[in-house]
Structure 1
């Protein structure tokens, strides 16, 4: 197998076109096109569907890309590690993180990591959607309570819990009267919130008056007194301590756990390994108070 042709195929597949791959790598378009065509001829397979202005992976092309991209990346890492004496991780580390954690901690984490490991280029994308790690080229993803996936290995590095909070001036109504609420996202339109208090389980009837896309926006709206909200204790602990908010109860539901995930069939790269250790150092016990310190400091 011609590794150079395979590497050029991966380059084109990753960038979604020969022109974009050529601009990103500085390689001539004609060279990339010829090598991809040579690889298709040797394999007896069509790896790309070619349109007038588009280039799309075929089913066979997608399978080849998914199975070889990580292997080529590991090969590059091994060569770089040997060349540097294996002392320092290097290369690009691509991470996908959920919005709340990214806003709360990733800026400070990324800065500290970059200063400690200057040979690693850290790229962090903020999104709550489910991502395809292989196809989208991520080395590590951070997710809240992810669904089981046999293709991924994961570990919990931080735990949190949701609480119902309000401005002290907002009086909790009695009976079935609904209280104004602030929710995150248009899909969060439940009318009854089960809660747990020292007195036992109960519920709060709510009517959404604001739908916001960020937990920090929801917190600020609650501070202003517009309604109650379900928020992570890590985000509101300081407000509860100084009296800007009051605690109406804990949300009755599963715990909130933040996981780091990476592909099970991929060897753990030095970059991922040191980032996992860096997270462990930042959150040694994994308790919500450690995230609160990131938010308030």
Structure 2
């Protein structure tokens, strides 16, 4: 049933005719009359009697008004509230984000976002697994180098590079053949050579420390435990202060961070606001010097 037609029928019935209903609503009498006729056609009964003196509800029309007058008003009020309520960013936003990015940045991002949009509450879940946005009821996911997924859309908001760093006390090998170096590596991964700056220097990390957290690896490198392969964004401060020295950049290992959401036709304003917020936060599409 056409809800607009039902609403127009109630409007005409409550105002006692097409003329007054038209003046009250600003809608043409022709439109109101057509909607009533369409409603009658759908129901298969006459709802009003048309005469020179105006419109009079039939028994069926009286019955319909008695059964729907309150509910139709509530439905229309609810539709208006939803339309107006969702036109501005508000509500609860649930975000899934990688653990490292969450630890380094999402605290300040979440606080700043809520300051910019005070009618939004935000929940950030730090997980490295690939969550199902629909099944697990996430509005947004931040992912590193995501695979193509026809169910999701989004934007790349920042990029990062993988760099090899070490404390200044550890001498940097000279370019040449593969150079073995004391390495701090991620636990549970197979150690591979580090090809720096398109082959200018190739390092063979000899694991001295195996750690399960990038933050631990960074701290161990600062303490002189060996050379480490880390995202540039998490060591820029230590590089600037001289705690660490950058030996080179891993060739062909750029990291792209995307903010993704489901590809539904109508995207919620809170989701659009968060996507735009993330892109504006990193205007040069670089994670370096951000936090």
The answer to whether the Cα contact below 8 Å between 1:88 and 1:117 also exists between their aligned partners in 2 is: no
Rounded Cα–Cα distance in structure 2 between residues aligned with 1:275 and 1:110: 10
When normalised by structure 1's length, the TM-score is: 0.65
Rounded Cα–Cα distance in structure 1 between residues aligned with 2:182 and 2:81: 57
Q: Look up the match of 2:248.
A: 249
User: Is residue 284 of structure 2 the alignment partner of residue 293 of structure 1?
Assistant: no
Q: Look up the match of 1:15.
A: none
User: Is residue 112 of structure 2 the alignment partner of residue 112 of structure 1?
Assistant: yes
Q: After the TM superposition, which residues 40-189 of structure 1 pair with which residues of structure 2 at under 5 Å, given as runs?
A: 81-84=82-85, 88-172=88-172, 176=178, 178-187=180-189, 189=190
Rounded Cα–Cα distance in structure 2 between residues aligned with 1:192 and 1:176: 8
Computing the radius of gyration over CA atoms, which structure comes out larger, 1 or 2? 2
What 5-or-longer segments of structure 1 have no aligned partner?
Answer: 1-76
CA displacement at 1:216 relative to structure 2: 2.1
Distance 1:78 1:169, change over 3 A: farther
Please give the secondary structure, in 1, of the residue aligned with 2:225. Answer: coil
The answer to whether the Cα contact below 8 Å between 1:81 and 1:89 also exists between their aligned partners in 2 is: no
The answer to whether the Cα contact below 8 Å between 2:178 and 2:202 also exists between their aligned partners in 1 is: no
Please give the secondary structure, in 2, of the residue aligned with 1:121. Answer: strand
CA displacement at 1:176 relative to structure 2: 4.9
Rounded Cα–Cα distance in structure 1 between residues aligned with 2:235 and 2:228: 11
Rounded Cα–Cα distance in structure 1 between residues aligned with 2:79 and 2:119: 15
Q: Look up the match of 2:263.
A: 264
Rounded Cα–Cα distance in structure 1 between residues aligned with 2:271 and 2:113: 12
Any runs of at least 4 consecutive aligned residues in structure 1 with deviations exceeding 4 A, and if so which?
77-81, 173-177
Please give the secondary structure, in 2, of the residue aligned with 1:288. Answer: coil
Please give the secondary structure, in 2, of the residue aligned with 1:104. Answer: helix
CA displacement at 1:100 relative to structure 2: 1.7
When normalised by structure 2's length, the TM-score is: 0.67
Please give the secondary structure, in 2, of the residue aligned with 1:168. Answer: coil
CA displacement at 1:272 relative to structure 2: 0.4
What 5-or-longer segments of structure 2 have no aligned partner?
Answer: 1-77
Rounded Cα–Cα distance in structure 2 between residues aligned with 1:217 and 1:184: 10
CA displacement at 1:173 relative to structure 2: 5.0
The answer to whether the Cα contact below 8 Å between 1:96 and 1:125 also exists between their aligned partners in 2 is: yes
Please give the secondary structure, in 2, of the residue aligned with 1:141. Answer: strand
The farther-off stretch of 264-273 and 139-148 is 264-273
The answer to whether the Cα contact below 8 Å between 2:157 and 2:278 also exists between their aligned partners in 1 is: yes
Distance 1:80 1:122, change over 3 A: farther
Rounded Cα–Cα distance in structure 2 between residues aligned with 1:278 and 1:78: 28
* C-alpha RMSD over aligned residues: 2.2
Distance 1:80 1:207, change over 3 A: farther
Please give the secondary structure, in 2, of the residue aligned with 1:136. Answer: coil
